[in-house]
Amino acid sequence: MLDTTIAGSLPKPAWLAAPRTLWAPWRLEGATLEEGKRDAVRLALRDQEEAGIDIVTDGEQTRRHFVWGFVERLDGVDFSKMVTIGIRADRYKADVPTVTAPLRRRGPIHTEEVRFLRSQTRQRIKFTMPGPMTIADTIHDAHYGSRNRLGMALAALINEEARELAALGVDVIQLDEPAFNVYMDEVREWGIEALNRAVEGLTCKTAVHICYGYGIKANTDWKQTLGSEWRQYELTFPLLAGSRIGGVSLECANSRVPMSLIGLLGGKDVLVGAIDVASDRVETPEEVAAVIREALKHVKSSQIFPCTNCGMVPLDRELARAKLRALAGGAALVRRELA
C-alpha cells in the first residue's frame, strides 16, 4: 500500500555529464561511456533503495534527454539534419533531428539497459519511454505530413519495444506525455488513440506521466500564466479513464491542480506527485504526507503511488537524494496512520 516510485530521471554524476543541465553532453566516450552509464545506474538504484523507494527506475542515466533515448535508435530520423523548432506550443526552442523516411526500429532499443537494470535490483522496476505525442512534438517532420500520422507511427514502434521490455521482467512501463498538458484538442483527436496503440497487448502495468515540465525557468514562467487553478487535467482525465492505460502520474506538490481532479480517473492507479522538482527546498515527510492524505480523499489507498512531480535530472544530486528520503518518509507516515 502506498508504494513509492519516482517520475523517472535522477541527476547524473558530474563525471558522466554536466550537472544541472538538460541535454547535457556526455563527458566520456566509447567503451568508457558505456561503463560510466552502467556505474551511474548502479548509483541511481542505490540512492533509491537506501531512501526506501519501492518501485525503482534506472534514473534515466543512459540517455542524454528523455526523448532522445528512443529516437536515436530509429531508422528514418536524420541527426545530420538538425532544426531549431519551438516545442510545447513554442514554450522553448530545441534543436531536433528530422524525420526523412518511414520510421522503423533499427533493432531492440532499450533491451540491454533493461537487462542490466533487472540484474542489479530485486525491487520492482519501472521503465520510462517518451509517449507518441511528446516525441512528435520534439522532432521535425519532413515525411509524414501530419502530427497524427507521425504520432500513430511512433505509437506502433513504442508498442513493439514495450512488449519486448515487458518480456524481460519490467513491472511498469511508463510513457511520458508532457505534451498532453499543452495540446488539449490533439489529445482528444488522436493522443488517446496513440496511447492505446502504444500499450496494446502489454501484460505488465502501464502508466502515463503528464506534468507541467521540469523545474526550469521556461516552465515556471509558463505556470505563472495558467491562472489560479490549473484545470488541464480536467479535460484529459475523463478520456484517460476510458483508455487502456493503467495509471496516471501527475503533478500535485506545490501545484495549482485541484486534487479533486484525480477522482476523474475512474479507478486508474494514481502516481501522486508529492515532491516539487522546481524547488531547491527539501520537503519534510510531513509535507509529503499532507499531499498523500489529500489524494486519499478522492482515490482509495490501494491505487495511490506517492511519486515525484516530474523528473529530477536538472537538480543537485544531494538535493535529489534528500527529496527521495522525504518521499519515502512521507509515505511511511501515512501507511502507519492507515494501519
Looking at beta carbons only, is 51 or 211 nearer to Zn ion?
211
Phi, psi of 37 (to 5 degrees): -60, -45
Min dist CB 220 to Zn ion, Å, is 13
Looking at beta carbons only, is 40 or 211 nearer to Zn ion?
211
Looking at beta carbons only, is 295 or 310 nearer to Zn ion?
310
Looking at beta carbons only, is 199 or 275 nearer to Zn ion?
275
Looking at beta carbons only, is 108 or 246 nearer to Zn ion?
246
Rg (CA), the chain: 19
Q: Name the residues that contact Zn ion, by CB under 5 A.
A: 211, 310
Min dist CB 213 to Zn ion, Å, is 6
Min dist CB 124 to Zn ion, Å, is 21
Min dist CB 180 to Zn ion, Å, is 11
Looking at beta carbons only, is 48 or 309 nearer to Zn ion?
309
Min dist CB 60 to Zn ion, Å, is 11
C-alpha to C-alpha distance for 289 and 117, rounded to whole angstroms: 29
3-class SS string, the chain: CCCCECCCCCCCCCCCECCCCCCCCECCCHHHHHHHHHHHHHHHHHHHHHHCCCEECCCCCCCCCCCHHHHCCEEEEEEEEEEEEEECCCCEEEEEEEEEEEEEECCCCCHHHHHHHHHHCCCEEEEEEECHHHHHCCCEECCCCCHHHHHHHHHHHHHHHHHHHHHCCCCEEEEECHHHHCCHHHHHHHHHHHHHHHHCCCCCEEEEEECCCCCCHHHHHHHHCCCCCCCHHHHHHHHHHCCCCCEEEEECCCCCCCHHHHHHHCCCEEEEEEECCCCCCCCCHHHHHHHHHHHHCCCCHHHEEEEECCCCCCCCHHHHHHHHHHHHHHHHHHHHHHC
Looking at beta carbons only, is 40 or 310 nearer to Zn ion?
310
Helix, strand or coil for residue 237? helix
Looking at beta carbons only, is 292 or 310 nearer to Zn ion?
310
Looking at beta carbons only, is 248 or 310 nearer to Zn ion?
310
Min dist CB 271 to Zn ion, Å, is 11
- The residues pairing with 95 across neighbouring beta strands, listed in sequence order, are 84
Min dist CB 178 to Zn ion, Å, is 5
C-alpha to C-alpha distance for 269 and 111, rounded to whole angstroms: 26
Min dist CB 145 to Zn ion, Å, is 29
Min dist CB 211 to Zn ion, Å, is 3
Strands (E), the chain: 55-56, 74-87, 92-105, 124-130, 140-141, 172-176, 205-210, 247-251, 269-275, 304-308
